[in-house]
Structure 1
Amino acid sequence: MTTLLVTHDDCSHHVTPPGHPERVARLEHLLPALEGKALTRIEAPEASEEDVCLVHPKSYVDWVRGSEPAEGTVSLDADTHMSPGSYKAAMRAVGGAIRAVDMVLAAEAQNAFVATRPPGHHAETETPMGFCLFGNVAIAAKHALDRKGLSRVAIVDFDVHHGNGTQDLLWSEARTLFVSSHQMPLWPGTGAPDERGAHDNIINVPLAPGTVGEGFRYAYEGQVFPRLEEFKPELVIISAGFDAHKADPLANLSLVEDDFAWITQKLCAIADRHADGRVVSVLEGGYDLGGLSRSGAAHVDELIRAGG
Structure 2
Amino acid sequence: MNQGQHFLVTGGAGFLGSHLCKRLLDLGHEVLCIDNYYTGMKANILELMDNPYFEIMRHDITFPLYVETDNIFNLACPASPIHYQFDPVQTTKTSVHGAINMLGLAKRVKAKIFQASTSEVYGDPKIHPQEESYWGNVNPIGLRACYDEGKRCAETLFFDYHRQHGLKIKVARIFNTYGPNMAMNDGRVVSNFIVQALKNEPITLYGDGSQTRSFCYVDDLIDAFVKTMDSPDEFIGPVNLGNPKEFSIKNLAEIIKDMTGSSSKIKYNPLPENDPCQRKPDISLAKRKLKWTPSTPLEVGLKPTIEYFEKILSKGIKNNHQ
**TM-score bracket for this pair, using the shorter chain length:** 0.3 to 0.5
Question: If the length of structure 1 is used for normalisation, what is the TM-score?
Answer: 0.35
Larger radius of gyration: 2
Question: If the length of structure 2 is used for normalisation, what is the TM-score?
Answer: 0.34
